[in-house]
C-alpha cells in the first residue's frame, strides 16, 4: 500500500463515510504487536507505509483496539486484504525483515488462532549494507540533533497534540483521483473524546459533509444540502476522522523528532553537500551505498532554521517525496509546516495548505452536537 493512493482513497471515502464491507470467512490477516497508546500504533502504521512494506498490493491498514490475552486492551495495526494464507505469511515476513513484530491470524468460524509469528530481524548498522564512514555519520547525526531541537525537541509535536484538551485544525487538501483533481476544505475539531469534521468541496467531484462524534459516542453524518441525519458506527467514524487530524495530515514533520532518535534508518544518514529546497538552500543527508532498496533515501534540512524541508522514501511503487515549508510555532510550542506537497516519481499527487492549527482553545459544546 502506497501513501499516495491510500490518501486519495481516504479523502474521497470520507465524503460519504461508507461503512466497511464484511470480510468473507475464513478470514486471514496480519497484525502487529499491541500498544498501550493509540499514537504508537499509528506511528507503526506510518512507518510500514513509508518503508513500502505493503506497497503495490490490495493490503490496507487500520488501527483497532482489541483485547490481547495476557496484556489486556491494546491498540494494534491490522493489515487486511491479503488474498490467502500464503500471501499473509509473505507479508508478515516482510514486516519482520523491517524489524517489526507481526503475526498471521485466521478466523475459523469465530475462533481466532495464530498461524505464524516470524521473529523480527535486528536492523543492521546500515540498511543498504554499505560500509559506514564513522566521521561522516557523526556529522550527519549532528545535523539531525540540530533539526530535532529546531522542531522543539523529541517530545514536542506529537506530545503537545496528545496532551491538548482541544484541537482545531483547518486545512485545504488537493489530491489526484481517478475522476481528476479534487480540492476540499477540511475543518477538524477535537475536545476530549468528541470529534467534528466539516468537508467542503471547492473543486472536483465530491459531496460536502459534516460528521460529528458526540461526547456520548454517537456518530452522525449530514451530506450536502440534505436534512437527513445518518447514523454511523462510532468506532469506524473515529478511525476515519483520525485521518484528518494534524497528527496524521502532518505526520512526516511531527513524527520526525521522535523517529530521528529511534529509527536506524535516520541514524545511518550521512552529509552529501547542499541542495535546493524551493528558493532556499538545504543541507542534504542521504543513505550511503545503493539506493535501489526500499526505505529512507534522503532528507533536506533548511540551512538557516535546521527544519526538515524535504524527505524521500523509495517504495515498490516509486519514489515518494514530501516537501514542507512555511513552518509556524503555536503558543503551546508545537512546530508544524504550513504547506506539504507529496510527489511520486516527480508527479504531484497531494498538496496540503494549513489555514489554522490551535491547541487548548475554548470550543463551544454545541459544536459537537449532531449536525
Which domains are present in the chain? Answer: 3-116 (3.30.70.1070)
Helix (H) or strand (E) holding 54: none
Distance CA 14, CA 241 (A): 8
pLDDT tens-digit map of 1-46: 333 333 333 333 433 444 444 444 478 989 988 888 888 888 888 7
Distance CA 267, CA 26 (A): 42
From residue 148, give the alpha-carbon distance in Å to each of 226, 228, 253, 328: 47, 48, 10, 15
Cβ-contact 167, 246 below 8 angstroms = yes
Distance CA 173, CA 190 (A): 19
pLDDT tens-digit map of 261-275: 777 788 888 898 899
Show Cβ contacts of residue 107 under 8 Å, excluding neighbours closer than 6 positions.
25, 26, 27, 28
- DSSP codes joined into one string, 181-205: EEEEEEEEEEETTEEEEEEEEEESS
At residue 216, the pLDDT reads 92
To the nearest 10 degrees (0 to 180), the angle between helices 251-262 and 38-50 is 90
Confidence of residue 123 (pLDDT cuts 50, 70, 90): very low
Confidence of residue 317 (pLDDT cuts 50, 70, 90): confident
At residue 56, the pLDDT reads 55
At residue 260, the pLDDT reads 85
Mean pLDDT for 289-314 is 88
At residue 213, the pLDDT reads 95
pLDDT tens-digit map of 214-259: 999 999 999 988 889 999 999 999 999 999 999 999 999 998 988 8
15-19, 80-84, 137-141, 174-178: least confidently modelled range: 15-19
Averaged pLDDT of the chain = 82
**Which three three-digit cell numbers place residue 34?**
499491541
Phi, psi of 329, deg, nearest 5: -115, 125
Residue 206 CA, distance from chain mean position: 23
Global pTM reads: 0.64
Amino acid at each position: 500500500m502506497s501513501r499516495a493512493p491510500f490518501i486519495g482513497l481516504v479523502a474521497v471515502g470520507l465524503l460519504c463515510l461508507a461503512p466497511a464491507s464484511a470480510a468473507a470467512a475464513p478470514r486471514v490477516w496480519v497484525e502487529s504487536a499491541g500498544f498501550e497508546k493509540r499514537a504508537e500504533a499509528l506511528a507503526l502504521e506510518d512507518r510500514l507505509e513509508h518503508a513500502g512494506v505493503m506497497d503495490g498490493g490490495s493490503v490496507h491498514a487500520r488501527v483497532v483496539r482489541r483485547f490481547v490475552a495476557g496484556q489486556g486492551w491494546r491498540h494494534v495495526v491490522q493489515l487486511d486484504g491479503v488474498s490467502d494464507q500464503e500471501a499473509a505469511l509473505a507479508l508478515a515476513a516482510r514486516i519482520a525483515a523491517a524489524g517489526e513484530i507481526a503475526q498471521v491470524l485466521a478466523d475459523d468460524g469465530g475462533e481466532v488462532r495464530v498461524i505464524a509469528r516470524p521473529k523480527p530481524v535486528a536492523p543492521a548498522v546500515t540498511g543498504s549494507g554499505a560500509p559506514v564512514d564513522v566521521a561522516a555519520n557523526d556529522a550527519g547525526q549532528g545535523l539531525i540533533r540540530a533539526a530535532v531541537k529546531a522542531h522543539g525537541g523529541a517530545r514536542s509535536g506529537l506530545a503537545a497534540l496528545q496532551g491538548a484538551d482541544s484541537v482545531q485544525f483547518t486545512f485545504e487538501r488537493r489530491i489526484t483521483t481517478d475522476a481528476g483533481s479534487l480540492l476540499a476544505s477540511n475543518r477538524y475539531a477535537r475536545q476530549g473524546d468528541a470529534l467534528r469534521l466539516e468537508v467542503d468541496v471547492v473543486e472536483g467531484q465530491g459531496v460536502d459533509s459534516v460528521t460529528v462524534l458526540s461526547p456520548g459516542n454517537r456518530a452522525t453524518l449530514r451530506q450536502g444540502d440534505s436534512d437527513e441525519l445518518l447514523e454511523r458506527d462510532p468506532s469506524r467514524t473515529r478511525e476515519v476522522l483520525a485521518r484528518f487530524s494534524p497528527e496524521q495530515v502532518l505526520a512526516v514533520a511531527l513524527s520526525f523528532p521522535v523517529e530521528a532518535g529511534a529509527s536506524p534508518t535516520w541514524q545511518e544518514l550521512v552529509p552529501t553537500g547542499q541542495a535546493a529546497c524551493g528558493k532556499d538552500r538545504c543541507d542534504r543527508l542521504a543513505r550511503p551505498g545503493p539506493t535501489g532498496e526500499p526505505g529512507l533515501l534522503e532528507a533536506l534540512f533548511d540551512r538557516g532554521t535546521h527544519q526538515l524541508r524535504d524527505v524521500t522514501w523509495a517504495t515498490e511503487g516509486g519514489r515518494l517525496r514530501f516537501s514542507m515549508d512555511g513552518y509556524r510555532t503555536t503558543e503551546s510550542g508545537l512546530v508544524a509546516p504550513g504547506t506539504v506537497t507529496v510527489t511520486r516519481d516527480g508527479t504531484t499527487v497531494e498538496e496540503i495548505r494549513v489555514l489554522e492549527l490551535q491547541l487548548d482553545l475554548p470550543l463551544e459544546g454545541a459544536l459537537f452536537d449532531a449536525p
